[in-house]
Structure 1
Amino acid sequence: MNKLPRASALALSITALLFLPPAHAETKIEPDASGSGVATTLDRLTVTGARATGRTIENSPAPIDVISAQELESTTRTDLFEALNNTLPAWNTPVRANASDLGSMIRVGQLRGLSPNHTLVLVNGKRWHTTALFGAGGLTGQAPVDLATFPTGAIQRLEVLRDGASAIYGSDAIAGVVNIITSQQAEGGEVAYRYGVNDGGEGELHTLTARAGFGLGQEGYINFAIQYDDQDPTITSTDVPLDYPLFFLRDADGNPVVPTGSVWRPQIPEGATLDPREHEVDRGRWRWPINGRRKSELRGFTANAGTPLGESTELFAFFNHARRQAWAPQFFRPVWRDDVVRVIHPDGFQPKEEIREQSVGGTIGLRGSLAGDWQWETSVTHGQDAIRAYIHDSINPTFGLDSQTSFYLGKVRYAATTWNLDLRRGFEVGLASPLELSLGAEARQEDYRKWAGDPQSYTHGGGLILDGPNAGKPYSRAVGYSQALAGFSPDDAVEVGRDNWAVYAGLSLNPVERWTVDLAARHEDYEDFGTASTWRLSSRVELGRRWALRGTASTGFQAPALAAQAHKFTQNSPAGVTYTLQVGSPQAQALGARPLRPEESENYSIGLVFQPWDGASAALDVYRIDVDNRIATSTSISGDSYPGALPLLQSLGYGRADAVSYLLNAANTRNEGVEATFEASSDLGRFGSVRWTAAGNWTRGELRSVAPTPAVLADYDVPVFSRGNSNLLLLLSPKSKQILSADWELGRWSTLLRFTRYGSLERYGVPVGRPASEEVAYTLDPVWITDLDIGFQLNDHLRLAVTASNLFNQLPDRLPAVLTQPGQYYSYPVNGPVSADGGFYSASIEYRW
């Protein structure tokens, strides 16, 4: 890891400071309108950029965005991923990142074009637990926080730090930090209902939120919030064309004939004709719905409380519980395929995957002052995410008529408990303002476990094909699972854990008037890979009444997800079986796998902040982030993609239809970009007032180097990290993104108009069933999206609103025809930020008291 420069000198300085006299100036805390004991500058106060008190958006040395609850409501979606996507140019939430299985039901987000794992999520300043599903969003190697399980109705605001902060918060804060601040409302409340639907009538959304605050004792508060979301699916695919048969073909004598070609590209052999039912069946019934929005239900509950315990101590606590179900349909299995048991599914079948997720987390702690000199805080945060997986309308054909049609696939669970102790004290040392020292220690315990599913979901039953032209023949090993997705076998079951501890320190000072300096250092020890030391230096210099220069240099790291070393996965598709091998398995090591190392980063940014006129603010920031040892998936090695490697696969027990890969430290990357923000307000007199905002992000990524290909793969001309895989590291985000908005208020009316431009996207794809050498490059053109929110306040309590996301129903470019899935006339990409669902229109009613 990066070593802390001049660490001993810094330690001596900190030790000396402990004996300096305390500062007598301190920040005055007053209750706000809700009765909570927070600073009167609550709407602009931030705790994300440094551990020092008194930092605001205006004087922060690093770029920070604050998104209010009102802005979240105007995005029409209750999913935090989409709310961030609609409000922050530096944030990207793909529609779905190349996922068709469990990963497609758990979305991910990116900050500054980096991996989802590189954004740390805090709740009220405390590290939150990640998803249990390793490979969320279809990105193998990723296990970020699932923001979609956090009820937006409980949120007072979001703070987003667009800068590296590992020295402050530890692992994962390479790209930045999202800090969710929950409501501290001590009285009143609200209840709201929203109904929405996509263009064309699909994707109905019902959302119910409620929140209420109550006094706790004389000066405390307790706040409750609930949320229910019911999201229907959308389908963005075409009807199945006639050149993709759903039934057996017929020869001249009327006997059933299997199509030639591959399962992906079936061909009608000479002399064969279509079954008459092909013209009668509803070919829209089996449309390929794997590209649309998933059906899901979310039920969430939160409680947030705080109360004084005497004159100098406060008790605080937070609890969140969320249950979510989601369903993902898979490719239709036509009648002529032998993995269809035709007695059970006479018209073929379409499997549907399901997850049942439960996310629970909470914090309890104490804060106060010690002899008036030291401010202290101690807390414990525990969270866990558990996911049970199922598949319905499926079959394990090797069990014939005895096969189940619904399967329990297994369960995964991730849990983490974090203990924190923080100390802070101000000192008078002859500077322009008191120096503030912060010290802290953290311990974290993590646990990851995977349980096996139903035996039939992963077992070959040994049965023979019951009917059709191949009746009596044995089934291959590739179909000895529940179709569409195999269950976890006892060999897949695993339980791993790890402990780590950290100590950290920070200094915040003003050497002279108008010059702010923040220093931070952190040392961590992980029992599974060793130590990590990081540092951070931020500074802000006011160049005049309206101008300031700011900059940050830091190092960071991201520990491999606990599940990474133990991860292995089996997935079967219409063409064969894909195996993700455990890094330490004999098969992976025979293909060149090595133990995973932490990712390491160096972050540099410099920015200019200025006020063009009173009531307006603007900023321009330039950044560079170098990340080494990026964890990703190796090349997927199969006999189809790399025909010359078939002997190697066969020597390890795999067949032509099998594909194998493993995790590795694949590459060193560099992300560079420019960010610009502008905000101003206009008082239009009797025509109301308008808040104008404009923001943009321009970024590019490059590979600085790629892991060397092991000799065993080089001998078969197989790169260990293919170009297609590297593209997922670099090209998932648009090259640029700009957001322009105007928020107009006039009496009881309010209108928000927002324009978002998503820049071009470079993409690569391999035609289905073709070698990797036939990869196709294509570009998705820029897209402008218009959002509109109109609200009317009927009285002091009741508000109505209508909202349109993608008002003009803009769609992304279609995929090149050569990359279209079988059974489709055309298809849309799923790994860009603009959905093929088109416009979404909703209405809401809100009652406050």
Structure 2
Amino acid sequence: MPHPPRRHPLPATLFSILVLPFAATAAGGPDADASADAAGHAATLDTVTVTGTRATGRTVRESAAPIDIISAEDIRAANATSLLDVLNTTVPSFNLPLETGDLNSMVRAGQLRGLNASHVLVLIDGKRRHSTALLGAGGFGGASPADLALIPTGAIERIEVLRDGASAIYGSDAIAGVINVVTNKRREGGNVSYRDGQYFAGDGRARVIQADAGFGIGDGGYLHLAAQIDDQEATDYTSPARDSFLYYFPRDAAGNPVRPGGNQASNPTLPAGATADPREATRDNHAWQNRGIRAFRTKTATANASLPLGATTEAYGLLTLAKRDAWAPQNFRQPLRNEVVRAIHPDGFAPTEHLDEEDGAFTVGVRGQLGEWDWDLSSGHGRDTIDINLHDSINPTYGVDSQTDFYIGRLRYSAWTHNLDLRRRLQTGWLAAPLEFSAGAEYRDEGYRIGAGDLQSYTHGGQPVLDGPYAGTVLGAGLGGAQALPGFRPEDEVDVSRNSSAVYAGVAADVGTRWRIDLAARHERYSDFGSETTGRLSTRFEINPRVALRGTISNGFQAPSLAAQAYRNTSNGNFFTDHVVQAGSPQAVALGAQPLRPETSRSVSLGIVAEPWIGTSLTVDAYRIDVDDRIALSTTFREGLYPGTGALVTSVGLGAQDGVRYFINAADTRTEGVEATLEGRFDLGRGGNLRWTLATSHTRAEITGLADTPAVLAAYDVPVFSQGSQNELLYKAPKSRQVLGLDWTLGRWRAGLRQSHYGTIQRYGSPTTVATSGPYAGQAEIAYDIGGIWITDVQLGATLVGGWDVAVNANNIFDRKVTRLPEPLLAANEYYRYANGGPIDGSGGAWSATLRYRW
């Protein structure tokens, strides 16, 4: 499928621990009616949550753990293109780095408390959500997180973000916290809305169409349907090419093409006595267009239903469907390069990666009461399938017989999860209130597949260079396959599966009227690596009606994903081939690899909840999370980087100049932080109502242990986990984040202001050539900061007669852009480059207008 034109015509209750909601737009529960929207939101502290404990739901005020509540109205006010962006806007502890890489820029992922994206467990109505099929989503190495961008925001009643470890309740992945998406279950009424907007620069148009409606069925049942279409066009802030950077072969005195000076691919220059090709004067200096927001179109739908089966029993179900097409333009290949077949692309080419994704999930269950027991029996299946294509590319080793469009291969992940949850209250003679006991069991089957691409997408056709001064040159193995993204080979194909089973129990008790204790334990067994047992103790003590202390101590784990264990791939570079080999393969074992172990964690937190004055709340929470055996890719080693390692590579049957890496348990880390929220309301009398929130998050991370370098690599001074990789593990998130939110309402009118500050975001880069003079002299690794950014968002809206509503939003109204890279880190073709991987990029500010009708 061709990529889109640049323009279109117009169109659970888990733990209780530390902090209280500090989302800039933390608000009340469901968007129940027009008057609730106009009046603002129900008080966050009084919202009953279903995340963080298996005891009966408690309000955020009573929670022993920090929970953020994001309402449907908060989601709309965020003016965001996906649920990931909503969380990034409203929750200071959540970080969504913007990547401009390959596939991981189209399947994005965020992190909580500075940990890995896969350290956050995602639930839908309290049930585990399946993972994406793309390993490394969002640039997070060995992560295969759930894809929040495929959940339609229009189908959500509220989001509960638990910022605390919860493996003892939910199992693997809940190391940093849990995000529970609570879907809309209204039996009547509905919404239809249309949003249109673009970036201030005139590009990146974004349109969103949402619709949802509720229907009563049977005697007390409901069916709620929702659908959404998102259409995002690309932005482009790539530097134009330097005038000195050649596109075409230089000419000698007779006008014949000659070889350029310098590096043909990365820095071609005029050799002595040659002149530039006349076509350089009319070339497209904006041929590189691969930095900016990626274009995508998603279509999502949900169906949520419940039907009473008797006085105390009901059947329920949830279906979610998603279809996504996304496009990522890649580097331009100028026509003088050997990987260009000039008979096909006389002026060069810029490939575009295309992701065609289908995602679906359903959960069905029956729940009710049997005597003193509440029970819930459910089964859910989810599957994510990604077909990868490449357009406007070439396999130069096939010459004029090369394809220009390639099928790269297929990724598929599936999970089938079955749960039985039991709960009852037990009267005791020594507790003021009944003891709440819960127990249950879970069984899950997972599967992961990789399918091969077109023959030409990964093979070497044997054709030498056809024309120009390099005519007849034999193209190396690194140029075999589709340029920009070679296909998966038959030897890369995998079809693996595993199962896991778990039993768990919990007890929650009120000791007197002020002290609450919540205990949970879980034992989980995996068919591929063994068992893990986790536990959690959470408590809250009320000093007086306006001040309470809370804290949690727990351990957790994350199972190595099937993808990280099974993934292998071969990619081509200009002069060598790079291999990712399976950690358990004979090749990897011969090069020092060990079987992957689960990541394990220990966390402790302590906080205070207070009401400094009537109508306000203050929460302050401090935490420490130690994670051992974090999974990441090893250092890439090859002859060109580490002399002598070519012999190691050839010893396992690969090319002498090839690069090799594999997944390892790379490091132990410690993350410490403090989160605080102060929020309240002012009644302005005839001037309306003002709701305000001030939230802050501070994080510090360090590596406390590194994997031992295998002797086979140490013999060649190859660090198994390089300094650059360590930096990548530690410094994705800002060291601090502050959000000030102001929401004013007066009758049908409303206005909002959100001021966000991102603290230091440390980055490192290695120059191609180390400078001998200037501010970067002698620096083989250059540190730079892409944080220190203030962003201002505003909203104006009004509820009109007849169920209509209108809103105008502007995000980043002062058009702030991320830092540009230090000069030594630029490519030879660039005048500048905006850094990537931060909270914003070079796209700048954006505006939108939304028209909504409710009935």
Asked if 1:566 corresponds to 2:587, the answer is no
| Separation (CA, whole Å) in 2 of partners of 1:845 and 1:109 | 29
8 A Cα contact 2:117 2:140, kept in partner: no
Distance 1:33 1:648, change over 3 A: closer
Matches within 5 A, 1:3-402: 44-96=47-99, 100-262=101-263, 263-284=265-286, 286-287=287-288, 289-371=289-371, 373-402=372-401
* Maintained 8 Å contact 1:485/1:570: no
Q: Which string of whole-angstrom CA distances, capped at 9 and with x for unpartnered residues, describes residues 354-406 of structure 1?
A: 010011011111110002x1111110011010000000101111111111110
Q: Output aligned runs, 1:758-773, within 5 Å.
A: 758-768=758-768
- Asked if the contact 1:499/1:527 (under 8 Å) is kept, the reply is yes
Query: CA–CA distance in 2 between the matches of 1:650 and 1:767?
Result: 29
Aligned in 2, Cα 1:260/1:716: closer, same or farther, shift over 3 Å? Answer: farther
Taking a change above 3 Å as real, the CA distance of residues 769 and 421 of structure 1, as seen in their structure-2 partners, is farther
Determine the structure 2 residue equivalent to 1:17: none
Q: Does structure 2 conserve the Cα–Cα contact (< 8 Å) formed by 1:32 and 1:40?
A: no
Matches within 5 A, 1:492-503: 492-503=492-503
1:724 maps to what in 2?
724
The answer as to whether partners of 1:298 and 1:322 remain within 8 angstroms in 2 is yes
Q: How far apart, in 2, do the equivalents of 1:499 and 1:647 lie?
A: 39
- Check conservation: 2:309, 2:315, Cα contact below 8 A: yes
Aligned letter for 2:277? Answer: D
Q: Deviations over 1:505-551 (max 9, x none)?
A: 00010122111110000000100000000000000000001000000
Match of 1:588, SS?
A: helix
In structure 2, the residue matched to 1:795 is 801
How far is 1:571 from its partner? 2.4
Q: Which residue does the alignment assign to 1:660? A: 660
Query: What secondary structure sits across from 1:415 in the alignment?
Result: strand
Match of 1:418 in 2: 417
CA-based RMSD: 1.9
Describe the superposition over 1:115-172 as per-residue Cα deviations: whole angstroms up to 9, x where unpaired: 0010000000000000001121133211101111111110010000000000000000
Opposite residue 764 of structure 1, the aligned amino acid is: Y
The answer as to whether partners of 1:229 and 1:299 remain within 8 angstroms in 2 is: yes
Letter in 2 for 1:346: P
Structural mapping, 1:735-814, within 5 Å: 735-768=735-768, 774-814=780-820
- Separation in structure 1 between the aligned mates of residue 498 and residue 828 of structure 2, nearest angstrom: 45
Match of 1:739, SS state, is strand
* SS of alignment partner, residue 399 of structure 2: helix
The share of aligned pairs that are identical, in percent, is: 52
d(CA) in 2 for partners of 1:188, 1:275:
67
Contact 1:296 1:326 in 2 (8 A): yes
* Correspondences of 1:642-721 after superposition (within 5 Å): 642-643=642-643, 645-652=645-652, 658-721=658-721
Verify the 8 A CA contact 2:298 2:324 in the aligned structure 1: yes
Question: Cα distance 1:215–1:42, how it changes in 2: closer, same or farther (>3 A)?
Answer: farther
Residue identity in the other structure for 1:810: R
The question of 1:464 aligning with 2:459 is answered no
Q: 1:539 maps to what in 2?
A: 539
In 2, distance between residues paired with 1:208 and 1:278?
45
- 577-586 or 549-558: which moved more? 577-586
CA distance in 2 between partners of 1:67 and 1:199 (Å): 28
1:810-849 mapped onto 2 (5 Å cutoff): 810-849=816-855
Do the aligned partners of 1:264 and 1:575 also contact (CA within 8 Å) in 2?
A: no
Gaps of 5+ in 1: 1-30
Say which is worse superposed, 514-523 or 811-820, in terms of deviation: 811-820
Indicate the SS of the match to 2:49.
coil
Give how far 1:274 is off. Answer: 1.5
Give the whole-Å Cα distance in 2 for the aligned partners of 1:738 and 1:572.
43
Q: How much has 1:410 moved relative to structure 2?
A: 0.8
Distance in 2 (alpha carbons) for counterparts of 1:467 and 1:770: 35
Q: Aligned partners of 1:839 and 1:642: how far apart in 2?
A: 44
Contact 1:640–1:769 (Cα < 8 Å) also in 2: no
After TM superposition, give the deviation of residue 773 of structure 1 in Å.
Answer: 8.6
Question: Which range moves more in the overlay, 632-641 or 271-280?
Answer: 632-641
1:649 Cα shift? 3.7
Letter in 1 for 2:293: R
Shift of 1:639: 3.5
Tell whether the 8 Å contact from 2:478 to 2:573 is kept in structure 1 after alignment: no
Q: 1:697-751: per-residue Cα shift (whole Å, max 9, x none)?
A: 0001000010011111111111000011111111000000010010000121111
Q: Match of 1:825, as an amino acid?
A: Y
Instruction: String of CA shifts for 1:233-279, please: whole Å, max 9, x gaps.
Output: 01111111122211111122222123233322333322222111111
C-alpha separation in 2, matches of 1:519 and 1:337: 64
| CA deviation profile, 1:64-91 (whole Å, cap 9, x unmatched) | 0000011111111131111101001100
State the distance in 2 between where 1:741 and 1:494 align: 48
Shift, 1:656, TM fit: 7.1
Structure 2 residue matching 1:206: 3-state secondary structure: strand
Partner SS state of residue 319, structure 1? strand
**2:782 is matched by which residue type in structure 1?**
V
Instruction: Call closer, same or farther: CA 1:773–1:636 in 2, change over 3 Å.
Output: farther
Whole-angstrom CA distance in 2 between matches of 1:319 and 1:821: 47
Q: Aligned residue for 1:406?
A: 405
- SS for the counterpart of 1:774 is coil
AA at the equivalent of 1:603 = S
Question: What TM-score comes out, normalization by structure 2 length?
Answer: 0.92
Q: Structure 1: which amino acid aligns with 2:50?
A: V
Q: Does 2:618 align with 1:618?
A: yes
- The amino acid that maps onto 2:702 is E
Distance in 2 separating the partners of 1:433 and 1:616: 29
Q: CA, structure 1 residues 169+212, in 2 after alignment: closer, same or farther (shift >3 Å)? A: same
Aligned amino acid, residue 587 of structure 1: Q
Tell whether the 8 Å contact from 1:641 to 1:770 is kept in structure 2 after alignment: no
Residue 213 of structure 1 aligns to a residue whose secondary structure is: strand
Structure 1 pair 267/110, CA: closer, same or farther in 2 (3 Å)?
same
The letter of the residue matching 2:602 is: E
How many residues align? The count is 810
Distance 1:462 1:644 in 2: 28
Q: Once the 2 structures are TM-superposed, how far is the Cα of residue 43 of structure 1 from its aligned partner?
A: 7.0
**Is the partner of 1:712 in helix, strand or coil?**
helix
Distance in 2, matches of 1:602 and 1:507, equals 21
CA shift at 1:638, angstroms?
3.1
- The 8 Å contact of residues 103 and 136 in structure 1, kept in 2 or not, is answered as yes
1:761–1:644 distance in 2 versus 1, CA, 3 Å = farther
How far apart, CA to CA, are the structure 2 residues paired with 1:103 and 1:821?
22
Q: Hey, what does 1:11 align to over in structure 2?
A: none
Distance across 1 between alignment mates of 2:45 and 2:213: 20
Contact 1:640 1:770 in 2 (8 A): no
Q: Secondary structure at the residue paired with 1:82?
A: helix
In structure 2, C-alpha distance between the alignment counterparts of 1:409 and 1:809, rounded to whole Å = 38
Distance 1:176 1:139 in 2: 17
Q: TM-score, normalised to structure 1's length?
A: 0.93
Q: Is the 8 A contact 2:477 2:577 kept in 1?
A: no
Match status 1:635 vs 2:635: yes
Per the TM alignment, residue 657 of structure 1 is displaced from its structure 2 partner at its CA by 5.7
Please list every run of 5 or more consecutive structure 2 residues that lacks an aligned counterpart in the other structure.
Answer: 1-29, 34-41, 772-777
